[in-house]
């Protein structure tokens, strides 16, 4: 087994009996644990799409390459099992940590890896999109075991850069050639514009959408009492503040923000779960899995 700080073999062993279900029907013909609109199985050609890392070379259409000097792969109907695309925020603010808690990006990676392992063990396909100020890695959903380790390696190599731009990331997801899928956003949601909430609701019209909100405990509890210099997590600007004069107001504002985010997403039937980085990964996995069952 590939050694990775994102992979806990003991945890994965405990998750081996966990099954994640999704509401509604799944468009697909691959035998698995989900209901499908399709009957029987099919290996008929469905469409062409541009090659992406992770695609099998045997599916490249070489005649098309000879004509266009670009790689395209053939998609077949038997690739339409349940797909889960993990959209992981890699903006600068995700590198934040305090005390013994891991960085938010590390926690997001561990949580995504645990959920991906659970899904792929039940025959579902997993994919990855990383994004900071710009779009990073994209791995199209696949359900092969070796694809899981490709997924993990890309999470390991993700670098936190730039300001949060969830709107651009979600617009990119909306333009991907995905049939009905499960879209899971892992982010601290620290974006000035709230356009991303509307975009998540729009995605829900076609896909099942979940937000795993990742925050450091200190971002909620605000455990400061002395005069402190605070640095902006994304643009590195600094400001000296007396926390005693603002602690209560800050905690109230954070509470209202989280409640407003959860309510706004619920109005659009978007699943929402808050996880702080001091929460055991297993607990976060089970909380999310229970929230998806019907």
Greatest alpha-carbon pair distance for the chain in Å reads: 69
For residue 272, the domain's CATH number is: 3.40.50.410
Whether 237 and 225 have beta carbons less than 8 Å apart is answered as no
The reply to whether 92 and 58 lie within a common domain is: no
pLDDT of residue 81: 60
Is 24's pLDDT higher than 70?
no
Is 58's pLDDT higher than 70?
yes
pLDDT digits (tens, 9 = 90+) for 160-184: 999 889 999 999 999 999 988 999 9
Highest mean pLDDT among 77-81, 124-128, 248-252 belongs to: 124-128
Whether 15 and 285 have beta carbons less than 8 Å apart is answered as yes
Whether 21 and 294 have beta carbons less than 8 Å apart is answered as yes
Q: Is 26 helix (H, G, I), strand (E, B) or coil?
A: strand
The reply to whether 140 and 185 lie within a common domain is: yes
- Does some domain include residue 2? no
Lowest mean pLDDT among 50-64, 70-84, 190-204: 70-84
Residue that is written with structure tokens 């700080």 in the block: 5
pLDDT of residue 2: 62
pLDDT digits (tens, 9 = 90+) for 255-272: 999 999 999 999 999 999
pLDDT of residue 235: 64
Alpha-carbon distance 292 to 159, whole Å? 30
Alpha-carbon distance 215 to 220, whole Å? 8
Number of folded domains in the chain? 2
- Does some domain include residue 3? no
Q: Which domain holds residue 52?
A: 39-79
- Does some domain include residue 128? yes
pLDDT of residue 26: 35
Handedness of CA 120, 84, 214, 53 (dihedral sign): positive
């Amino acid at each position: 087994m590939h050694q990775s700080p994102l992979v806990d073999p003991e945890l994965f062993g405990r998750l081996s009996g966990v099954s994640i279900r999704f509401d509604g029907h799944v468009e697909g013909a691959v035998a698995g644990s989900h209901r499908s609109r399709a009957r029987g199985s099919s290996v008929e050609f469905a469409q062409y799409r541009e090659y992406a890392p992770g695609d099998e070379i045997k599916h490249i259409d070489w005649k098309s390459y000879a004509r266009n000097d670009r790689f395209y792969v053939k998609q077949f109907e038997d690739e339409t099992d349940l797909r889960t695309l993990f959209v992981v925020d890699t903006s600068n603010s995700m590198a934040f940590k305090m005390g013994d808690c891991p960085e938010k990006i590390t926690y997001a990676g561990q949580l995504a890896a645990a959920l991906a392992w659970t899904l792929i063990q039940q025959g579902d396909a997993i994919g990855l999109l990383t994004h900071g100020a710009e779009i990073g890695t994209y791995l199209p959903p696949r359900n092969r075991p070796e694809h899981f380790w490709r997924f993990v390696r890309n999470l390991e190599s993700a670098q936190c850069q730039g300001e949060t731009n969830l709107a651009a990331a979600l617009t990119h997801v909306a333009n991907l050639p995905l049939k009905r899928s499960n879209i899971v956003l892992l982010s601290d949601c620290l974006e000035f514009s709230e356009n991303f909430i509307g975009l998540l609701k729009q995605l829900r019209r076609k896909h099942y959408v979940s937000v795993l909100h990742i925050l450091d405990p200190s971002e909620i509890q605000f455990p400061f009492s002395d005069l402190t210099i605070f640095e902006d997590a994304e643009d590195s600007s600094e400001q000296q503040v007396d926390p005693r004069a603002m602690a209560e107001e800050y905690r109230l504002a954070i509470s209202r923000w989280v409640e407003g985010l959860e309510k706004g997403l619920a109005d659009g039937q978007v699943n929402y779960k808050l996880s702080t980085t001091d929460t055991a990964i297993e607990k976060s996995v089970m909380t999310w899995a229970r929230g998806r069952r019907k």
